[in-house]
Amino acid sequence: MSFWRLPASTALPVSTLLISLACSSAPARGRDVFLTIGGGGTPSGNQVSLEKNVLYFQRVLRALDLADLRHDILFADGADPGRDLQLIDPDAQIPPANRLLAQLCGQEDGVDDQYRTHEIPGLRGPSTRAEIERWFDETKGDLGAGDRLLIYFTGHGGKAKNQSENHMHLWNGEKLTAKEMAALLDKLAPEVEVTLVMVQCYSGGFANLIFGEANPEKGATAARRCGFFATTHDRVAAGCTADIDEENYQEYSSFFWAALAGQKRLGEATPRPDYDGDRRTSFEEAHAYALIHSDTIDVSIRTSDALLKAISKTKAEGHDDLLSADAPKEKLLSAATPADRAALHGLLAALELEDGWTAEVRKLADELKEKKETNDEEKGKLQSAHRKIAGEVLKALKLKWPEIGNPWNARVTEILTADSPALLAAAEAHPRFSELNQLHERIAERKQDSLDLQRRAAKCQRFLATAERVALAANLPKVAKPEEISRYHELLALERSTLAEPPPPLPNTGDTARRR
């Protein structure tokens, strides 16, 4: 079975249809290949959620009857039996004395971390530059016109002043920039259809892989590439956690794959979105589904967003009729594609602003920003007070156990075991210990409040970005060159491809029917 197909019954403008037909004149469908790259740069940065993302993707392929296709996986240290994976076992017992000193010393992060080797079957090798380069060198001759490659990266990322230098973190502290990834993709025949799904922080910088050297100033490449990214080039992404409970996972690819497979991480069935009514779920629709349903800090983008920003405008001399994100609701909705229209409606519903529009969303975003600033200011005051009292308690404990000032002192092990009851009793007897615990709880509440505000604000940013996207697309015929418009529609056709053919039957759900 092949993976992804262009929709057979999508309603397209005549110009788009002609372009799609031209694209479809390529040789018959050939090989279908998956490449998954994952893991952190070190054991302490290689959270168990990254391993579970790879395992979930394997389950998605099985659910879609694609598991027999070639799927090469490069993860962390590869086949090395060393402990390369970080996790937190909720059943593990952390000695109270250890937790106490971690709190007093401001070193609670990592106090309950554990490590094991990863458990990903069918691995090709480690996620290193050499192994990635070797993969492209060995595979470039196997892939040609009609072949398709999907690259999934689940790991960490970094940003740079120049977006082409945004990078993927690889094993042992290595990195691979967007510009370097562009060079690797250039080794493939330009007719090979490449789709990228990347969930690292600052992943949006890789949306520029549709341009030469991942640089918008060099213009769009002729290569057939598209991609979907957890967040913009300048924002961190959600999802990396040492928590072993997948029920708590909230990250972009969880929603993206669930939409395509109709199956959530724990096996629960979920309706597959079909915003254009063609009874298929495209990558574009999976992306819109993630925008609507993901309750994270992510502001996810796709390659056509990057192209639109490069070739279209909302303001131009001699054009007074251009749309902007602040255009009337009816105008933008009528100009939107079914997937973008669904995203706009869905995000308004999530924000409880069904009767509002851009102005109301901007107002809410400003209010959320102000609330977060106030919350963070209060959190800072609480943390300052906590540090002061923690220092007082620690100072009192050092009078009896001075060795705890250096965790490497040989006597510390004895203090944390044999002297543990006495240490805890002395801390609890301190006159400000109860106040310290209350501050600890209040700080945790403020952190959660801050996260909740960021998640809600992210939905505002997703809405505003989608509204701008619709305006830029509507303005294309007035401000872009014919060849740029053609390139945009070619890219849209790739983004509207599907993962499996034929897909499972789709029920008639709210996500299926929302095409207002």
351, pLDDT greater than 90: yes
Which of 31, 303, 67, 307 has the alpha carbon at shortest distance from 192?
31
Counting every residue written for the chain, the total comes to: 516
How far the first Cα of the chain sits from its last, in Å, is: 34
Give yes or no for a contact between 498 and 282, defined as CB atoms under 8 angstroms apart.
yes
The pLDDT assigned to 73 comes to 99
Q: What is the pLDDT of residues 101-128, one digit of tens each?
A: 999 999 999 999 999 999 999 999 999 9
The Cα–Cα gap between 324 and 343 comes to 17
The pLDDT assigned to 22 comes to 39
The Cα–Cα gap between 154 and 151 comes to 10
Give yes or no for a contact between 469 and 337, defined as CB atoms under 8 angstroms apart.
no
The Cα–Cα gap between 40 and 46 comes to 4
Q: What is the pLDDT of residues 477-499, one digit of tens each?
A: 999 999 999 999 999 999 999 98
The pLDDT assigned to 11 comes to 39
List beta partners, residue 198. Answer: 153, 229
Could you tell me which residue, 105 or 92, shows the higher pLDDT? 105
The pLDDT assigned to 23 comes to 42
Could you tell me which residue, 509 or 208, shows the higher pLDDT? 208
The Cα–Cα gap between 229 and 101 comes to 40
Reported confidence tier of residue 31, pLDDT bands at 50, 70, 90: confident
Give yes or no for a contact between 98 and 110, defined as CB atoms under 8 angstroms apart.
no
The Cα–Cα gap between 370 and 145 comes to 53
For residue 361, which amino acid is it? Answer: V
Taking phi over 0 as left and psi of -120 to 50 as alpha, with beta for the rest, 501 belongs to beta
Q: What is the pLDDT of residues 74-89, one digit of tens each?
A: 999 999 999 999 999 8
Give start and end residues of each alpha helix (H) in 351-507. 358-400, 411-417, 420-429, 433-479, 482-495
The pLDDT assigned to 2 comes to 53
Q: Which residue has the tokens 């999907």?
A: 150
362, pLDDT greater than 80: yes
Q: What is the pLDDT of residues 158-181, one digit of tens each?
A: 999 999 999 999 999 999 999 999
The pLDDT assigned to 19 comes to 39
Could you tell me which residue, 92 or 37, shows the higher pLDDT? 37
pTM for the model stands at: 0.91
Tokens representing 229 are 């990214």
The pLDDT assigned to 29 comes to 64
511, pLDDT greater than 60: no
Q: Alpha-carbon Rg of the chain, whole angstroms?
A: 26
The pLDDT assigned to 320 comes to 86
Q: What is the mean pLDDT of the chain?
A: 92
For residue 344, which amino acid is it? Answer: L
Bond preceding residue 502 cis, omega within 30 of 0:
yes
282, pLDDT greater than 70: yes
Helix (H, G, I), strand (E, B) or coil at 3: strand
317, pLDDT greater than 50: yes
Residue 141 φ then ψ, to 5°: -80, -15
Reported confidence tier of residue 504, pLDDT bands at 50, 70, 90: very low
The Cα–Cα gap between 70 and 1 comes to 12
Handedness of CA 331, 336, 342, 344 (dihedral sign): negative
Mean pLDDT of 13-31: 46
514, pLDDT greater than 90: no
The pLDDT assigned to 193 comes to 97
287, pLDDT greater than 80: yes
Best CATH choice for the domain 31-91+113-311+497-513 from the list 3.50.50.60, 3.40.50.2300, 3.40.50.10490, 3.40.50.1460: 3.40.50.1460
Give yes or no for a contact between 46 and 114, defined as CB atoms under 8 angstroms apart.
no
Reported confidence tier of residue 149, pLDDT bands at 50, 70, 90: very high
For 24, residues 6+ apart whose C-beta sits below 8 A from its C-beta are 6
Buried b (16+ CB within 10 A) or exposed e, 386-406: beebbebbbebbeeebebbee
185, pLDDT greater than 90: yes
Sheet of strand 70-75: strand arrangement: 70-75, 32-39, 148-155, 193-198, 225-229, 301-302
Give yes or no for a contact between 488 and 476, defined as CB atoms under 8 angstroms apart.
yes
Give how far the C-alpha of residue 315 lies from the chain's centroid of Cα atoms, to the nearest Å.
Answer: 31
Reported confidence tier of residue 507, pLDDT bands at 50, 70, 90: very low
283-293 vs 482-495: helix crossing angle, rounded to 10:
80
